[in-house]
Amino acid sequence: MKKGLIVTLIIVLVVSLFSGCSSSLATDNGKRAILVVSFGTSYNDSRALTIEATENRIKDEFPDYDIFRAFTSQIIIDKLKNRDNLDINNVLQAMEQLKKDKYSEVYIQPLHVINGEEYNDLLNQANNYKDSFNTLRIGKPLLSSTEDYQKAIDALKDKFSNLEKNEAVVFMGHGTPHIANAQYSELSYMLHDEGYSNVFVGTVEGYPTIDNVISRLNEKNIEKVTLMPFMLVAGDHANNDMAGDESDSWKTILKKDGFEVTTYIHGLGEVKGIQDLYVEHLRNLIDGLYEPEENK
Amino acid sequence: MKNMSLKTLFTIGLIAILTLFVLRSPIENLIKNTEKLDTHKYAIDFIDDSGHRIKMDKPATKIISLYSAHTENLFAIDAGKNILGIGRADAYPMEVFNLTRYDYRADPEKILAANPDLVLIRPFIERKTPDFVNSLRRSGINVVSLYPTKFSDFDDYILKLGMISGKEKYAQKKLNEFHEKIEEFKKFNSRFKDHPGVYFESSETGYTTVTSDSMPASAIKIAGGNFIANDAEPIEGSSIASYGIEKILQKANDIDIFISQRGVMGAGGNIHSITIRPGFKGIKAVKDNKVFEISQKIISSPTFRFLKGIHEVSRIIHPDYFDNLSNMISQNNTTNRDLAKLVVKYKHKVYFVPTSSYFRKEYNGHTYGKFDDLEFSDPDFDFIETAVSSGYMDTNKIDGIEYFYPEKEITKEEFAKSLYLISDLRKQTIHKEIKDSNDCKNLKIIQIIVDNNIMKLENGKFNPKDNISMKDAIQTLNKLKNTAKQ
Q: pLDDT band at B1, cuts 50/70/90?
A: very low
By C-alpha distance, the chain B residue nearest A243 is B272
Give the pLDDT score at A7.
56
CA B415 to chain centre: 30
User: Is A258 in contact with B269 (Cβ distance < 8 A)?
Assistant: no
Give the pLDDT score at A2.
55
Please report, for residues A38, A160, A169, B148, B395, the alpha-carbon distance to residue A198 in angstroms, rounded to integers and kept in the order given.
Answer: 30, 8, 7, 57, 32
Q: pLDDT band at B26, cuts 50/70/90?
A: low
pLDDT in tens, B145-178: 999 999 999 999 999 999 999 999 999 999 999 9
Of B265, B277, B366, the CB nearest to A247: B366
User: Is A79 in contact with B265 (Cβ distance < 8 A)?
Assistant: yes
H or E element that contains A37: strand A32-38
- Please state, in angstroms and rounded to a whole number, the distance separating the CA atoms of residues B34 and B32: 5
SS3 B369: coil
| CB contacts, 8 Å: A245 with chain B | 349, 390-392
Residues 403-442 of B with CB under 8 A from A: 417, 420-421, 424-427, 442
User: Is B425 in contact with A260 (Cβ distance < 8 A)?
Assistant: yes
A38 forms beta bridges with A71
Q: pLDDT band at B329, cuts 50/70/90?
A: very high
Phi, psi of B292, deg, nearest 5 = -130, 150
Give the pLDDT score at B466.
98
pLDDT tops 80 at residue B20? no
Can you give the pLDDT of all 296 residues of chain A as single tens digits? 456 555 555 554 444 444 444 434 456 778 999 999 999 998 888 899 999 999 999 999 999 999 999 999 999 999 888 888 889 999 999 999 999 999 999 999 999 999 999 999 999 999 999 999 999 999 999 999 999 999 999 999 999 999 999 999 999 999 999 999 999 999 999 999 999 999 999 999 999 999 999 999 999 999 999 999 999 999 989 999 999 998 899 999 999 999 999 999 999 999 999 999 999 999 999 998 877 665 44
Q: Which residues lie closer than 8 Å to A287 by C-beta, 6 or more apart? A: none
Report yes or no: B178 and B185 within 8 Å, Cβ to Cβ.
no
Give the pLDDT score at B8.
74
| CB contacts, 8 Å: B204 with chain A | 44-45
Report yes or no: B384 and B378 within 8 Å, Cβ to Cβ.
yes
Residue scoring higher pLDDT (B263 or B415) = B415
Which residues of A belong to the annotated binding site?
Answer: 174, 205, 237
Catalytic positions of A, written as ranges: 174
Report yes or no: A95 and A124 within 8 Å, Cβ to Cβ.
no
Give the global pTM.
Answer: 0.84
Where b means 16+ CB within 10 Å and e means fewer, B328-344 reads beeeebbbbbbbbbbbb
| CB contacts, 8 Å: B445 with chain A | 258
| CB contacts, 8 Å: B390 with chain A | 245-247
ipTM over 0.95: no
User: Is A249 in contact with B276 (Cβ distance < 8 A)?
Assistant: no
**Between A and B, how many CB-CB pairs are < 8 A?**
73
User: Is B266 in contact with A252 (Cβ distance < 8 A)?
Assistant: no
Report yes or no: A104 and A33 within 8 Å, Cβ to Cβ.
no
